[in-house]
Amino acid sequence: MKLRLIAAVCLTLLAMKSFSEDKKFYIFICFGQSNMEGNARVQAQDTIGVDSRFQVLQAVDCAGRGRTKDNWYTAIPPLVRCGTGLTPADYFGRTLLANLPGKIKIGIINVSVAGAKIEVFETNSYQSYLATAPVWMKNIVAEYGGNPYERLLALAKLAQKSGVIKGVLLQQGESNTNDTLWTQKVKGVYDNLMKDLKLKPKKVPLLAGEVVNADQNGVCASMNKIIATLPQTIPNSYVISSAGCPCSADHLHFTAEGYRLLGRRYGETMLSLLGYKVSEINKPELSSVNTITR
């Protein structure tokens, strides 16, 4: 009788799991610093015609925008906190939808902290790092409950109840410029995510974007040499080029156009990893239609 009860409970749990998880809802974890938050002002073209199949899991409460944390919304920017701007994740998601079958949905999770080193996501060092951080950075972290990694993890676990995590996007490095241990630190965060979310690294690629390129006189462009070595430390990782992506006057942040271009490149890489061959890359802001093969 006891064995029958246990079997019944297991079957019920499996049924609930299969019912709640939509295998056609692709979830992507995004994190980083200001260029993943989005530093450029959102423009009209970025808010018009956003497909409802593109969703964001709200990271913080934004009463002024009618959004409550831990709920899904159509991914109209901002996708991070209430006052952040356009991010690579915006046009990453749009590029995927423009090239994937209509039955697929895309979900974004984004927890990013402007100005922060990768250490802010390290479970064993974030507290000591934040102890000497400026007040404005501490205020950002406070919106995430004081622990950015734990907030990212909580959102990811919640998202797993709705869909399947297909990849991780990282846009970070300016504050770690010339840090030769950066790749190991990123690996530590990535490995923690894989372990804590019970994911297999071979099935969940990490896409890491370059900082503002030397061709745009990027003030942290030397960091791209270190970012380029990430696949040597994390086999299933891919570097997204920032070459030709316009930047703002500070040569540290991308312009809206730069974020759109960088986001499309993230999307193109992910499409390839998902097994799709794009015959003509779509530019989402032009609302053109693409042909894909698989």
Show which residues are catalytic.
34, 250, 253
* Alpha carbons 168 and 137: distance in angstroms, whole number: 23
Question: What is the full DSSP assignment across 145-172?
Answer: TT-HHHHHHHHHHHHTTTSEEEEEEEE-
Backbone angles phi, psi at 201, to 5 degrees: -50, -35
Please answer whether residues 258 and 91 qualify as being in contact, where contact means their C-beta atoms are separated by less than 8 angstroms.
Answer: no
Give the CA distances from residue 86 to residues 104, 177, 236, in Å, rounded to whole numbers and listed in that order: 23, 23, 27
- Which residues 6+ apart lie within 8 Å of 183 measured at CB? 226, 229, 230, 232, 233, 234
Q: Report whether the peptide linkage leading into residue 78 is cis, meaning its omega lies within 30 degrees of zero.
A: yes
Give the CA distances from residue 7 to residues 11, 12, 13, 39, in Å, rounded to whole numbers and listed in that order: 6, 9, 10, 52
Tokens 């869909």: give the residue: 163
DSSP state of 32: E
